[in-house]
Amino acid sequence: YKYRGNIMEMDRVISQNYFQSGLRVSIASTPTEKKQLISIRTEIYRQVGKHITQNIMSDIFDENALLVGVWKNDKPIASARIISLNPDDEWEHDRFIKWDKTLPDRTETAEVSRFCIIYHERSWNTIKALCFGISLAIVKTKRRYLLACCTDELVPFYKIFFGAKFTGHSILHSDLGPKIHHMFFCDYQLGMVGNEISIWAWLSLWPRPAYVGLKDKVFLFWIPEWRRKLFMIKCLIGVLGEPI
């Protein structure tokens, strides 16, 4: 898989940042780790009624996906997946919507799905860690936009913390139970440097992963170098403000 070469370095950076909180964030790099994350995903979705069969919750997209996990005491407690495919390939949401002008260009978009956290571990630290891992994984794909869907109760979360733009497409996702899901996308890299979301939402999640992406020069690569340096300074200041 074309992003595997970056996984060890990304894991090192992420793990350092979350070691003190007792959490480790990593992308599954072995069959065993992928199996563990798919297993915890199955358990979580079954508990909330979104997976009603006895089969493991997996599909054809898992094979080439980046599976992000949050680990506590060497056990996975949260997971999400990032899918980055060629424009002409079949994407997860192609079964439910027609790609039209309300959506960003497929060449610049990655799909995010299966965002889930074990019920008794649903703290802000876990949410922050999972979002951290997702953001750095998407950055590695060099895609500018993320596309996803969510149920009604999560609409405010994605609007506030991701600057999500809802497209008006409401779907019944055949893999996610009986609830209606709403499609959205966001220019997440701009949100990660504090554009299009409030200063408090930004400080809560994004300064540290944004700084890593800018430092590695895989983030906001379409803007001039001098602007990236200014954003790096802003993100360093933001890291100091995270405890607020």
Q: What is the pLDDT of residues 179-228, one digit of tens each?
A: 889 999 998 888 888 888 898 888 888 888 788 778 877 778 788 888 88
Please, which pLDDT band fits residue 2 given cuts at 50, 70 and 90?
Answer: very low
Element of type H or E holding 27: strand 23-27
Tell which wins on pLDDT, 175 or 87.
87
The confidence score (pLDDT) of residue 21 equals 66
The confidence score (pLDDT) of residue 188 equals 84
Write down the pTM of the prediction: 0.82
Q: What's the rounded Cα separation, in Å, for the pair 132 and 184?
A: 19
Whole-number average pLDDT of the chain: 84
pLDDT at 141 over 50: yes
Question: Once rounded to an integer, what is the mean pLDDT over residues 134-156?
Answer: 88
Q: From residue 100, how far is each of 106, 122, 158, 202 by CA, in Å?
A: 10, 35, 22, 30
Q: From residue 27, how far is each of 59, 103, 242 by CA, in Å?
A: 18, 27, 24
Q: What's the rounded Cα separation, in Å, for the pair 81 and 3?
A: 14
| Degrees to nearest 5, angle at CA 153 with 78 and 66 | 30
The confidence score (pLDDT) of residue 122 equals 87
The confidence score (pLDDT) of residue 128 equals 86
